[in-house]
Structure 1
Amino acid sequence: MSQSKVPGQAWVTVFAGTAINLCLGILYAWSVWKKALVNPELAGEVMTGIDAGWTYLTNSQAATPFSLCIIMFMLCMVPGGKIQDKLGPKACATIGGLCLAAGCIIAGLMKSYTGLIIGFGIMGGIGMGIGYAAPTPAALKWFGPHRRGLIAGLVVSGYGGAALYISPLARYLIEGYGITGSFIALGVIFALVVIVAGQLLNTPPAGYQPPAPPVEASAATAIATKVDWEPSQIVKTKAFFSLVIMFVLATQSGLLIIGNAAGLLSKAGSAVPFLVANAWILAAYGGITNAVGRVGTGVYSDRIGRTRAYAINCGVAALCMFSLPMIIASENILLLFIATGIGYWQYGGLLSLMPSFVADFFGGKNLGMNYGLVFIGWGLGAFMPKLGGIIQDATGSLDLAFYISGSLLLASVAIALLTRRPDDSHLLADAPTAKSEATADGLEERKAA
């Protein structure tokens, strides 16, 4: 039976999920760590002072732990989604928090390239992937399709907003306690918050039906499958592969900017000593637009549809990627903030669009596992930061990487416009409960979709 209003526990789950993602967003501190670690001319030489024991890295080397973390994040979203669906979000968040703490402590204590790969790249990625699988599916199960964009945006806004405070916090810790101290402090504090907030996550009881959409709700966004697809079923659909490819092509541009934000401001603002010394400002600013983009995109995707929202975001971001080489060369700080801000918005919005796409296409019951499978596309997008590092080492700039990235965004728009929700009529026939709930108008809407 459908509820008249959303229970209070639903909103507790939403904001507990936001708190968890505020901590899992430690990934966005990487550009600050990278700035402290990279010096191609001194690569391999041992640092002195507070960072004694660490060695300088090349751009390509520094891209490896970041890219590996993303890959592990991707791979662990699948088992994380299974843990979420089977054992519940509390267990999922707890395991993720413990792995994150262990990874950061390992990275800090080993003081080496190998330690960064094992600690931040592997263990950190495992913690982020399993932890990230907990909040969004749990929250979306409480709400109907007409609010999925908003709810997904609120939950994942924490991950994007993390850059707002993590970048300056990481810089403060590096300056005061060294690279080692920053890794250990952030890992332990964030793990505690993830574990505690995770205990506030709950999924709806058996038989729960979210409130029905209002009469004036947009048909384009209120339409959704009436049945719950199994993971083994979704991988047989064209829509699944389209969503994965869309994820890959739209993710790569955001990761390219995130992994190089501090360096971009240092280069474009080379004539301004303050900007060179405080290049973390661009990463922190990016956190704001990233977070707002997640909520904002979620809101207008509920009104104009996921596909239109995706196409608008990626199309505008592509123009910005094509413009970045010229903007950096001209040292126009205002245009740099506008272009990267749009890039952060597009990337942030993607993370609210994709779980909403999956829930609309395949239902909410198995959302943890189903979204984990589609989330593979996010991890595959990690090729771009590594490619960008190789291009930068070879040419001295990221210009070619930006042109490639913009082209891929345009390709993603074309794929999105051709993607349709898979036909669920054969599943609906085998789901008597769902069939009884489907009205004649609903059947017509699904045919129109």
Structure 2
Amino acid sequence: MSVPARAWAVTAAGTAVNLCLGILYGWSVWKAALVPKDKALYGQPMTGTNAGWTYLSNSEGNLAYAVCGVTFALFMIPGGRLQDRYGAKLGATLGGLFLALGCVVAGVLKSFEGLVLGFGVLGGIGMGLGYAAATPAAVKWFHSSRRGLIVGLVVAGYGAAAVYISPLADYLITAHGLTGSFVGLGVLFAVVVVVAGQLLAPPPAGYVAPGPAQAAAAPAAPRGADFGAKQMLATWQFYLLVFLFVGSAQSGLLVIANAKSFLNDAAEGGSFFARNGWVLVTFIGVVNALGRVGTGQYSDRVGRLNAYALNGAVSAVCLLATPWVIAEKNVAFLFVVIGVMAWQYGGTLAVLPAVTADYYGAKNLGLNYGLVFTGWGIAFFVPQLASAIKDATDRWDGAFYLSAGLLVAAVLVSRIIRKPVSVAPAA
């Protein structure tokens, strides 16, 4: 028995939803327009197509990004409950509308407060509701032996969003200003997410996902227990999974928030890369997406947390090397080390939902993964702290060393986690 075509349609629709929700990964393009290199311009009014806007400091320029991430993570919880109880279509539709409203509010208000309210709060609500709908809807159509790959494909859309959003936002900011970029993208996202969300249909009652062909003749392995949220919260493994999210996500979020600034610091003034920082942001999007699919696929073979540890260890080395790379103005090597970090970060977003399903079952995955995902929201304290470090010292070194230390700690923790003992079925 083969997987029905509808299963792949749901997977594609989930990827399309995430391609819009991933506007968060293009944030460094907006930040570069909002935060000038000259500190004397902080708080000064802009001119031209951005008349009405005011220049921000590094910390201010990162706050809307951080608020968006925390709100996103928090609304994964009600988004997961919506998905589990009412299906994915409602969550995706609400997600698209909130994201669009947030972008329009951010553009129209033309202020720091408008960015925090619009992009940060309303946009974060939309991302949380929409993201919670996309992955569980696809996972339920496939056997657990393909879980890593399917999760990777769906969440790759979120990572790949930077591939088109970064150059598009850069063009829109140049041609139509900050307001035009936010409003234009908001309208586009509303249409795409709402339409794609209608394709996120669950499997019919009694549907059994086809397993590997070689296992057809063998006795079926007993299915793991489906933990309810309260049962999951009673296990120690849940809290370590949250820490794994914090430890690995913070390094990727640090890079995503400041990619264009890193390239500006490393590139020679007036060079192609100094003038086109969006290229690194787009590169991160490509590798981020590939990391989700690639890590998801080999985690099916070598084990979820083995893949997590391998990615994390290599990325920690790159984090430690990055201050030297920027100081040496080695742009080629900067792309290498940033690419490794992007792959690791993308891999985390494929591995941890799959681990959550492996440990606690697929039945309540929407809510359960929403709770584990709070670790991703907590991780935003690192890029916010990094911006404060940059404002105080004019260097990123301390932020990279802090990030590397947290990632190493997470890799070590990943070596001690084991699947929880099965419990009685949730009521």
Q: TM-score, normalised by structure 1?
A: 0.92
Of residues 9, 26, 29, the one that matches 1:12 is 9
* CA apart distance, 1:213: 3.0
> 1:94 maps to which residue?
93
* CA apart distance, 1:29: 1.8
Q: Is the 8 A contact 1:140 1:151 kept in 2?
A: yes
**CA distance in structure 2 between the aligned counterparts of 1:270 and 1:331, rounded to whole angstroms:** 7
> 2:209 maps to which residue?
210
Give aligned-pair identity as a percent. 54
> 2:358 maps to which residue?
360
List aligned pairs for 1:220-235, cutoff 5 A. 226-235=224-233
**CA distance in structure 1 between the aligned counterparts of 2:140 and 2:214, rounded to whole angstroms:** 21
> 1:55 maps to which residue?
54
Q: Is the 8 A contact 1:225 1:361 kept in 2?
A: no
> 1:26 maps to which residue?
23
* CA apart distance, 1:273: 2.0
> 1:114 maps to which residue?
113
Amino acid at match of 1:284: T
Of residues 21, 33, 38, the one that matches 1:36 is 33
1:41-70 superposed Cα distances (whole Å, 9 cap, x missing partner): 211111111100000000011111000000
Q: Is the 8 A contact 2:248 2:407 kept in 1?
A: yes
1:399-423 superposed Cα distances (whole Å, 9 cap, x missing partner): 1000010111110011111000101
Of residues 324, 327, 331, the one that matches 1:326 is 324
**CA distance in structure 1 between the aligned counterparts of 2:85 and 2:40, rounded to whole angstroms:** 51
List aligned pairs for 1:257-268, cutoff 5 A. 257-268=255-266
1:144-195 superposed Cα distances (whole Å, 9 cap, x missing partner): 1110000000001111111111100000000010000000001110111000
Residues 223 and 248 (structure 1 numbering): CA distance in 2 closer, same or farther, change over 3 Å?
Answer: farther
Partner secondary structure for residue 214 of structure 2: coil
**CA distance in structure 1 between the aligned counterparts of 2:223 and 2:209, rounded to whole angstroms:** 14
* CA apart distance, 1:214: 4.0
Of residues 236, 248, 271, the one that matches 1:273 is 271
Amino acid at match of 2:145: H
**CA distance in structure 2 between the aligned counterparts of 1:234 and 1:375, rounded to whole angstroms:** 13
Partner secondary structure for residue 260 of structure 1: helix
**CA distance in structure 1 between the aligned counterparts of 2:264 and 2:393, rounded to whole angstroms:** 18
Amino acid at match of 1:245: F
Deviates more, 1:117-126 or 1:198-207: 198-207
Amino acid at match of 1:66: Y
Of residues 393, 396, 404, the one that matches 1:395 is 393
Amino acid at match of 2:61: A
Q: Is the 8 A contact 1:249 1:409 kept in 2?
A: yes
1:339-398 superposed Cα distances (whole Å, 9 cap, x missing partner): 000000000111111110011001111110010000000000000110000000011011
* CA apart distance, 1:225: 5.1
Residues 148 and 402 (structure 1 numbering): CA distance in 2 closer, same or farther, change over 3 Å?
Answer: same
Residues 251 and 366 (structure 1 numbering): CA distance in 2 closer, same or farther, change over 3 Å?
Answer: same
Partner secondary structure for residue 202 of structure 1: coil
* CA apart distance, 1:279: 0.8
Q: Is the 8 A contact 2:26 2:256 kept in 1?
A: no
Partner secondary structure for residue 415 of structure 1: helix
Amino acid at match of 1:413: V
Amino acid at match of 1:399: D
Root mean square deviation, CA, Å: 1.5
Q: Is the 8 A contact 1:224 1:363 kept in 2?
A: no
* CA apart distance, 1:140: 0.5
Partner secondary structure for residue 133 of structure 1: helix
List aligned pairs for 1:411-430, cutoff 5 A. 411-424=409-422, 426-427=423-424
> 2:407 maps to which residue?
409
**CA distance in structure 1 between the aligned counterparts of 2:294 and 2:412, rounded to whole angstroms:** 23
1:81-134 superposed Cα distances (whole Å, 9 cap, x missing partner): 011111111101000000001100000000000000100010000001101111
**CA distance in structure 2 between the aligned counterparts of 1:186 and 1:353, rounded to whole angstroms:** 30
Q: Is the 8 A contact 1:68 1:121 kept in 2?
A: yes
Amino acid at match of 1:44: G
Q: Is the 8 A contact 2:67 2:120 kept in 1?
A: yes
Structure 1 ranges of 4+ moved more than 6 A: none
> 1:168 maps to which residue?
167
> 1:435 maps to which residue?
none
Amino acid at match of 2:25: Y
* CA apart distance, 1:226: 2.0
Amino acid at match of 1:5: S
> 2:345 maps to which residue?
347
* CA apart distance, 1:209: 1.6
**CA distance in structure 2 between the aligned counterparts of 1:265 and 1:24, rounded to whole angstroms:** 25
* CA apart distance, 1:5: 2.0
* CA apart distance, 1:270: 2.3
**CA distance in structure 2 between the aligned counterparts of 1:224 and 1:59, rounded to whole angstroms:** 53
> 2:370 maps to which residue?
372
